[in-house]
């Protein structure tokens, strides 16, 4: 069995190409990679079908033998045939069945399933970020997992069941017709009815199977969505609403299944009636021919088992056909996520990005997420960031700060204009090399459901334990990591963080994410509210570490809390997708524009006592501005 198990390496290759959108082309895309094993199964099924048709012949031969007047002489003359019967039943047929089972259960089921599942996942995970934003993660995962099983099962069932009944029925018809053409008439009529029967039911089963599969995926998607956001569900005490949300999809699935099963019930009833008619018709004609002396008892004894086995096989095949089209429906539904052309792929001949200085230029960049009914988020924006310069992006929500960063990372592409890093248009470089050159800490920190060490090592896969610990210390995370213990007793850096890091607090997650970026040590650093989840003491400590991390790097920092970017080399103020102000913190305060209003708004509230190290002139500037306003009011009076 090990010989069969090791022949198909499911994860050996990402596949010959992207899965095509056509149903038959989609099937062939995966089947052709293991077509030799499907051909072997085809041959084994053929052998089993032919061997099964021989058994009724032996039964008829035995009946004829038992009718002989001289039984001893008949037994002496026919012993080679009897010996062949014994060999066929005891050795040859079990060997053929064993081969058939070995191919299916030890080669195709584990190997082909893993191959389809792996290649589907390989293709899907390389889809663009918007692809995942537009669907449920649970539904995508369900489609990847279920499509592999459904495609393999429907292919195997088509070969094993449909091929079996075709070969067996044709052979049975031939044998009965050779004995007397009237004996084969019920089988011929049955086959004609069976074809009409399938032509009527198959299209309905395919449509209903697809609807049922889509409804099942929606149930999975909604259940996973509720589980993933269980904290929100609990905090807002909305269990009843979640029940209704999931119940609606469960009810829809039940309706889809009910419609599907109703057709299947009619399918099986009609087939049962046809099978009964086949058996009765064959028996009646056989007995009539025997009574008239046209055929012997041995012929009738051969015809009846053939008809009985054909009807039994047809019943088995009917269940298999039901499963085939149910699985085809699953495949069709899965293709909606798998057979989707990848968007935002690298250009042909794209080269790795080489960052030597870290200069970034945005040249007349316009982008509006493809919407034509609203102003663009970024409108002909041009910005030059010098090598090693630290800039802060400031502006109201919706001004375009995060969009600018998403374009820099090539999650989206500009509708016009271009972005250049060290004189290299990022549209012409590989996305992997681009993102490898950029370290980013996001506000909405998400960790992988792995160990602390595994999450930090994600920044540099080959990092040693000492390097991981050094990064954690720099991110002020080492102390709390040592005190961690998960639900399986794993402690410290080996403790697992739960899905999306739910076992950690927001501040702890952010510090682990910061350690990951520290370890990555990319030449370009993007900080999107990198310390927003931290308390003031931890933020102050990490801000000092960030200064060391920024040394020699080109830095883009986004912050709504302006005190966190006040010490940047230059601040860029965005409004409605345009740069409306730029300069240092002190210069922008003197300009008394939008930045000064934002600063004044925050300083009048929870930032009233913020002091920005290294900027002693700020208080003087603010006092001067205040005095000017008093003078203006006096003059006006």
Here the tokens at position 73 are: 């002489």
| Beta bridge mates, 424 | 421
- Return the axis-axis angle of helices 163-179 and 297-338, rounded to nearest 10°: 160
CA dist., res. 113 & res. 146, Å (int): 10
Strands annotated E in 281-377: 360-367
Tens-digit pLDDT profile for residues 462-484: 899 999 999 999 888 898 999 98
What is the length of the chain?
A: 637
pLDDT value at 407 more than 80:
yes
Q: Where in the chain is the domain with CATH 3.40.50.300?
A: 360-437+522-636, 445-521
Tens-digit pLDDT profile for residues 424-448: 999 999 988 999 999 888 777 778 8
Spell out the alpha helix ranges (H) of 347-450. Answer: 401-408, 431-436
pLDDT bracket for residue 103 (50, 70, 90): confident
CA dist., res. 92 & res. 285, Å (int): 33
Calculate the CA dihedral of residues 430, 431, 436, 441 and round it to 10 degrees. 160
Calculate the CA dihedral of residues 145, 147, 152, 154 and round it to 10 degrees. 140
CB crowding 250-270: b at 16 or more within 10 Å, else e: bebbeebeeebeebbeebeeb
CA dist., res. 623 & res. 631, Å (int): 12
Per-residue pLDDT at 105: 80
> Highest mean pLDDT range out of 24-28, 52-56, 183-187, 280-284?
24-28
| Beta bridge mates, 360 | 385, 421
Tens-digit pLDDT profile for residues 32-64: 888 888 888 888 888 887 777 777 767 666 666
Query: How large is the average pLDDT for residues 403-420?
Result: 91
Greater model confidence, 626 or 79 = 79
Here the tokens at position 208 are: 């209903």
Check: CB of residue 381 under 8 Å from CB of residue 362.
yes
CA dist., res. 144 & res. 117, Å (int): 6
| Percent over 90 (pLDDT), the chain | 16
Tens-digit pLDDT profile for residues 536-587: 655 666 666 677 778 888 999 887 777 778 888 999 999 888 999 999 988 8
State the chain's maximal CA–CA distance in angstroms.
Answer: 140
- Looking at 147-151, 163-167, 374-378, which range is the least confident one? 163-167
DSSP helix/strand/coil, 416: strand
- 17-338: CATH architecture: Up-down Bundle (1.20)
Check: CB of residue 500 under 8 Å from CB of residue 447.
yes
Here the tokens at position 133 are: 């934003």
Torsion angles phi and psi, residue 418, rounded to 5: -155, 165
Per-residue pLDDT at 430: 92
Give, in degrees to the nearest 5, the angle at Cα 423 between 417 and 424: 75
CA dist., res. 120 & res. 116, Å (int): 6
Per-residue pLDDT at 570: 92
Q: Where in the chain is the domain with CATH 1.20.1560.10?
A: 17-338
Check: CB of residue 421 under 8 Å from CB of residue 415.
no
Site of tokens 């082309």: 25
Tens-digit pLDDT profile for residues 228-237: 777 677 777 7
For the segment(s) 445-521, the CATH number from 3.40.50.300, 3.40.50.720, 3.40.605.10, 3.50.50.60 is 3.40.50.300
Calculate the CA dihedral of residues 98, 103, 107, 112 and round it to 10 degrees. -140
> Highest mean pLDDT range out of 7-16, 24-33, 37-46, 192-201?
24-33
Check: CB of residue 117 under 8 Å from CB of residue 334.
no
Query: How large is the average pLDDT for residues 63-74?
Result: 64
Residue 460 neighbours by CB distance under 10 Å: 17
Residue 393 neighbours by CB distance under 10 Å: 25
pTM of the complete model: 0.69
pLDDT value at 406 more than 80:
yes
Check: CB of residue 56 under 8 Å from CB of residue 300.
no
Tens-digit pLDDT profile for residues 351-384: 999 999 999 999 999 998 877 778 889 989 999 9
Strands annotated E in 132-212: none
pLDDT bracket for residue 387 (50, 70, 90): very high
Give, in degrees to the nearest 5, the angle at Cα 428 between 423 and 432: 105
- CA-based nearest residue to 267, from 323, 211, 307: 323
Domain 360-437+522-636, CATH homologous superfamily name and number: P-loop containing nucleotide triphosphate hydrolases (3.40.50.300)
The alpha carbons of the chain give a radius of gyration, in whole angstroms, of 37
CA dist., res. 565 & res. 229, Å (int): 32
- CA-based nearest residue to 531, from 516, 515, 547, 514: 514
| Beta bridge mates, 429 | 351
- What's the distance, Cα to Cα, between the start and end of the chain in Å? 99
- CA-based nearest residue to 151, from 323, 337, 340, 336: 323
Give the list of residues 6+ apart from residue 433 with CB closer than 8 angstroms, or none.
Answer: 352, 353
CA dist., res. 525 & res. 140, Å (int): 32
Query: How large is the average pLDDT for residues 243-267?
Result: 85
Mean pLDDT of the chain: 80
Per-residue pLDDT at 333: 84
Tens-digit pLDDT profile for residues 592-629: 888 888 888 776 544 334 444 444 344 444 444 444 44
Check: CB of residue 155 under 8 Å from CB of residue 137.
no
Report DSSP state, residue 361: E
pLDDT bracket for residue 4 (50, 70, 90): low
Count Cα atoms within 13 angstroms, Cβ side, for 178. Answer: 9
């Amino acid at each position: 069995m090990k010989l069969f198990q090791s022949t198909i390496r499911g994860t050996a290759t990402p596949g010959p190409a992207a899965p095509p959108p056509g149903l038959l082309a989609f099937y062939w895309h995966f089947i052709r990679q293991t077509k030799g094993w499907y051909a072997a199964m085809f041959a084994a099924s053929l052998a089993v079908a032919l061997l099964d048709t021989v058994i009724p012949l032996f039964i008829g031969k035995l009946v004829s033998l038992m009718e002989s007047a001289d039984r001893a002489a008949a037994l002496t003359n026919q012993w080679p045939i009897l010996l062949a019967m014994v060999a066929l039943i005891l050795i040859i047929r079990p060997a053929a069945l064993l081969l058939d089972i070995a191919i299916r259960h030890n080669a195709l089921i584990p190997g082909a399933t893993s191959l389809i599942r792996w290649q589907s996942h390989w293709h899907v995970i390389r889809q663009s970020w918007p692809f995942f934003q537009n669907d449920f993660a649970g539904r995508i995962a369900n489609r990847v997992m279920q499509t592999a099983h459904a495609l393999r099962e429907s292919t195997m069932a088509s070969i094993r069941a449909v091929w079996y009944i075709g070969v067996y029925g044709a052979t049975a018809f031939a044998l009965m017709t050779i004995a007397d053409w009237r004996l084969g008439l019920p089988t011929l009529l049955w086959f004609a009815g069976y074809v009409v029967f399938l032509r009527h039911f198959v299209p309905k089963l395919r449509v209903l199977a697809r609807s049922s599969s889509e409804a099942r995926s929606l149930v999975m998607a909604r259940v996973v969505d509720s589980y993933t956001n269980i904290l929100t569900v609990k905090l807002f005490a909305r269990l009843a609403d979640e029940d209704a949300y999931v119940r609606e999809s469960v009810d829809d699935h039940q309706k889809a299944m009910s419609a599907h099963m109703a057709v299947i019930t009619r399918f099986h009833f009609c087939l049962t009636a046809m099978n009964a008619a086949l058996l009765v018709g064959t028996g009646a004609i056989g007995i009539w021919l025997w009574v008239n002396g046209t055929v012997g008892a041995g012929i009738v004894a051969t015809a009846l088992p053939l008809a009985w086995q054909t009807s039994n096989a047809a019943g088995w095949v009917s269940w298999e056909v039901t499963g085939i089209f149910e699985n085809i429906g699953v495949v069709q539904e899965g293709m909606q996520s798998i057979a989707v052309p990848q968007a935002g792929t690298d250009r042909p001949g794209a080269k790795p990005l080489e960052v030597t200085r870290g200069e970034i230029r945005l040249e007349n960049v316009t982008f509006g997420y493809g919407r034509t009914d609203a102003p663009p988020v970024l409108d002909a924006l041009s910005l030059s960031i010098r090598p090693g310069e630290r800039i802060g992006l400031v502006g109201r929500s919706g001004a375009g700060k995060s969009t600018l960063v998403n374009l820099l990372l090539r999650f989206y592409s500009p509708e016009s204009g271009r972005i250049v890093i060290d004189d290299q248009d990022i549209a012409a470089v590989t996305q992997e090399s681009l993102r490898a050159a950029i370290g980013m800490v996001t506000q909405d920190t998400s960790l992988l459901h792995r160990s602390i060490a595994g999450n930090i090592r994600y920044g540099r896969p080959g990092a040693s334990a000492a390097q991981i610990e050094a990064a954690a210390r720099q991110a002020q995370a080492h102390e709390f990591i040592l005190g961690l213990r998960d639900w399986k007793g794993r402690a410290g850096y080996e403790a697992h963080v739960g899905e999306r890091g739910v076992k950690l607090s927001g501040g702890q997650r952010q510090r682990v994410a910061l350690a990951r970026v520290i370890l990555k040590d990319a030449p370009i650093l993007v900080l999107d509210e990198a310390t927003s989840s931290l308390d003031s003491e931890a933020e102050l400590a990490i801000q000092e570490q960030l200064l060391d991390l920024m040394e020699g790097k080109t830095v883009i920092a986004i912050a709504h809390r302006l005190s966190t970017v006040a010490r940047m080399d230059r601040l860029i103020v965005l409004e409605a997708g345009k740069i409306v102000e730029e300069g240092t913190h002190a210069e922008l305060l003197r300009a008394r524009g939008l930045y000064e209003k934002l600063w004044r708004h925050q300083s009048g509230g929870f930032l009233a006592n913020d002091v920005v190290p290294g900027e002693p002139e700020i208080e003087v500037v603010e006092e001067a501005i205040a005095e000017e306003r008093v003078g203006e009011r006096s003059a006006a009076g």
